[in-house]
Structure 1
Amino acid sequence: MTRMFNPPHPGAMVAEELDSLGMSAREFARYIGVAPSSVTRI
Structure 2
Amino acid sequence: ICPKCGNREAYYWAVQTRSADEPMTRFFRCTKCGYTWREYD
Determine if the TM-score, normalized by the shorter chain, exceeds 0.5. Answer: no
Structure number with the bigger relative contact order (C-alpha 8 A, sep ≥ 6) is 2
| Structure in which a larger fraction of residues adopt strand | 2
Quickly name the TM-score band, shorter chain normalised.
Answer: under 0.3
What is the TM-score with the length of structure 2 in the denominator? 0.23
The higher radius of gyration belongs to 1
TM-score, normalised via structure 1 length: 0.23
